[in-house]
Chain A
């Protein structure tokens, strides 16, 4: 307390330094590029408007989880255990529930739709790319000029067909509905990045396609809407 003026200026210097550091940190933060701008549909939305959702915690890392099992478990399951779609179609058009019992998967019965792991080859009759939930209409070989299914090509994917068709994933293994939903989004994100990310979207009509993927029984229509796990366009 003897020399208050020195203490005072030291104090100011210290504040100044702290402020400098603070701005350095802030700047450092803003410089980091947002490497995934399409993260908007995920649990925590992008930098601009952080939506606070109750119970969304960073402890659970859905992207890591999905990424870790994608090549080792998800893709192999589809390659080994999927049904040619044309084999399902006759039953499906008569009675989708019956087709489910024969070819589908669901973890529990009541109140859950059937999910199907399928594969097929065909030709793209039309591409609908104006909506962010883009799709293509596919006519399976032997082609007859009418579409048999729609294939989702993103960037927005509807439903949880991939998560729900994996027989090694159980809701009981996750803390709550938020984690389980974020996991589904994470699978769809892998599809967006690895499967449909590099499509020549303006040049799809008329091309031949082979796919492995999943679809889920919809409530209000018998449309087959496949999310691809493996996709080749020739």
Chain B
């Protein structure tokens, strides 16, 4: 009996101690880190959270809404204080964010938005329309306002794919001598970008330009073009990755649009911290961050989704 009470006392002591000493947990959920953009987000969020004294659990949903649901369950079960999310679909992610909210866990969205307001505390996204217009205008200039071109579009479940395409076309469609010969989704993927480009080249050998919804698809397209002996074709991406920076400096890809991915992730954590401490971020839920055009003039200053 005595032994038992000592044991239970010890247990209580241990539990209390662990409650006192365990740091609050922030769960960071992003798409696969294969794409350096998402890796940079995760690294940025993690660094800031640790700096502010949180424990961090970093998870990837691989753009699978079901997996994302499970990750939210994990976050809820682990008693996370906040979730930093780059989501797996503008519509499919509404439910898990709401579930977390009902469980008392605020979500802070980065990069991709959801099609419902009032569920997440913050949604910090790049000003993709402004960025796409920058990319589109640079593309038009590089093309000399004429020629046949291809567009590689992003993932259908992501509003960023739609908005970038819209921005490109709002600019490019003003020039009647620029003719689109193929427009396909390569799902943000480098391998798909390569494969889709390969078959597009076979069907339309006369191509002068390729405009892409992100950098990984641009890398894939550039590789396919070079393999087909068409290394002079103008390729423009979107993201501002180090891979594309190096490609620009090597004279292959001509331009991209920098999204401040690292900074956005850090801002989300700062806002989460402020929200947890004061009950408000002091900012509107939906926040746009302007993008910057990157070409051979400023590419050298680009490092991990930020200009030095």
Most buried by B among A107, A156, A158, A172: A172
The complex places the Cα of A175 from the Cα of B285 at a distance, in Å, of 12
Q: Cβ of B285: which chain A residues have Cβ within 8 Å of it?
A: 172
From A40, A54, A171, A220, B286 is in contact (CB under 8 Å) with A171
Q: Cβ of A177: which chain B residues have Cβ within 8 Å of it?
A: 113, 125, 127-129, 159-160, 163, 288
Are B165 and A176 in contact (CB-based, < 8 A)? no
State whether the Cβ of B249 lies closer than 8 Å to any Cβ in chain A: no
Per-residue 0/1 for A153-189: is the Cβ within 8 Å of any B Cβ (1 yes, 0 no)? 0001011100000000011111111101100110000
State whether the Cβ of A207 lies closer than 8 Å to any Cβ in chain B: no
- Closest chain B residue to A173, Cβ basis: B117
Are A53 and B292 in contact (CB-based, < 8 A)? no
Q: How far is the CB of B279 from chain A (nearest CB, A)?
A: 18
State whether the Cβ of A110 lies closer than 8 Å to any Cβ in chain B: yes
A contact patch SS: loop
| Given A40-B174, A51-B169, A111-B260, A180 contacting B129 (CB threshold 8 A) | yes
State whether the Cβ of A132 lies closer than 8 Å to any Cβ in chain B: yes
Are B169 and A45 in contact (CB-based, < 8 A)? yes
B contact patch SS: mixed
The complex places the Cα of A159 from the Cα of B289 at a distance, in Å, of 15
The complex places the Cα of A41 from the Cα of B288 at a distance, in Å, of 22
Considering only CB atoms and an 8 Å cut-off, how many residues of chain B contact the other chain? 39
State whether the Cβ of A219 lies closer than 8 Å to any Cβ in chain B: yes
From A56, A108, A181, B283 is in contact (CB under 8 Å) with A108
Are B156 and A181 in contact (CB-based, < 8 A)? no
State whether the Cβ of B162 lies closer than 8 Å to any Cβ in chain A: yes
Are B283 and A41 in contact (CB-based, < 8 A)? no
State whether the Cβ of B241 lies closer than 8 Å to any Cβ in chain A: no
Q: Cβ of A171: which chain B residues have Cβ within 8 Å of it?
A: 284, 286-288
Are A156 and B174 in contact (CB-based, < 8 A)? yes
Per-residue 0/1 for A91-111: is the Cβ within 8 Å of any B Cβ (1 yes, 0 no)? 000000000000000011011
| Given A111-B260, A160-B130, A178-B159, A185 contacting B113 (CB threshold 8 A) | no
From B117, B129, B173, A175 is in contact (CB under 8 Å) with B117
Are B287 and A54 in contact (CB-based, < 8 A)? no
State whether the Cβ of B166 lies closer than 8 Å to any Cβ in chain A: yes
The complex places the Cα of A53 from the Cα of B116 at a distance, in Å, of 19
| Given A176-B90, A219-B290, A54 contacting B162 (CB threshold 8 A) | yes
Are A54 and B159 in contact (CB-based, < 8 A)? yes
Are B288 and A111 in contact (CB-based, < 8 A)? yes
Q: How far is the CB of B270 from chain A (nearest CB, A)?
A: 10
Q: Cβ of B130: which chain A residues have Cβ within 8 Å of it?
A: 159-160
Q: Cβ of A40: which chain B residues have Cβ within 8 Å of it?
A: 173-174
Are A43 and B166 in contact (CB-based, < 8 A)? yes
Q: How far is the CB of A135 from chain B (nearest CB, A)?
A: 15
State whether the Cβ of B170 lies closer than 8 Å to any Cβ in chain A: yes
Are B116 and A178 in contact (CB-based, < 8 A)? no
Are A41 and B287 in contact (CB-based, < 8 A)? no
State whether the Cβ of A113 lies closer than 8 Å to any Cβ in chain B: yes
- Closest chain B residue to A45, Cβ basis: B173
State whether the Cβ of B161 lies closer than 8 Å to any Cβ in chain A: yes
Per-residue 0/1 for B95-117: is the Cβ within 8 Å of any A Cβ (1 yes, 0 no)? 00000000000000000010111
Q: How far is the CB of A185 from chain B (nearest CB, A)?
A: 7
The complex places the Cα of A120 from the Cα of B173 at a distance, in Å, of 33
Most buried by B among A53, A110, A176, A185: A176
Are B290 and A185 in contact (CB-based, < 8 A)? no
Most buried by A among B161, B169, B263: B169
Are A53 and B290 in contact (CB-based, < 8 A)? no
From A108, A158, A181, B166 is in contact (CB under 8 Å) with A181
Q: How far is the CB of A130 from chain B (nearest CB, A)?
A: 12
Q: How far is the CB of A156 from chain B (nearest CB, A)?
A: 6
State whether the Cβ of B240 lies closer than 8 Å to any Cβ in chain A: no
Q: Cβ of B201: which chain A residues have Cβ within 8 Å of it?
A: none
Q: Cβ of A172: which chain B residues have Cβ within 8 Å of it?
A: 117, 284-286
Are B267 and A185 in contact (CB-based, < 8 A)? no
Q: How far is the CB of B140 from chain A (nearest CB, A)?
A: 11
A contacts, CB < 8 Å to B:
40-41, 43, 45, 51, 53-56, 107-108, 110-113, 132, 156, 158-160, 170-178, 180-181, 184-185, 219-220
Subset of 6 A-B contacts with CB under 8 Å: A54-B158, A54-B159, A108-B284, A175-B115, A177-B113, A181-B163
Task: Give the top 5 A-B pairs by smallest Cβ distance, nearest first.
Answer: A111-B289, A54-B162, A181-B129, A172-B286, A171-B286
B contacts, CB < 8 Å to A:
90, 113, 115-117, 125, 127-130, 133, 153, 156, 158-163, 165-167, 169-170, 173-174, 260, 263, 267, 283-290, 292-293
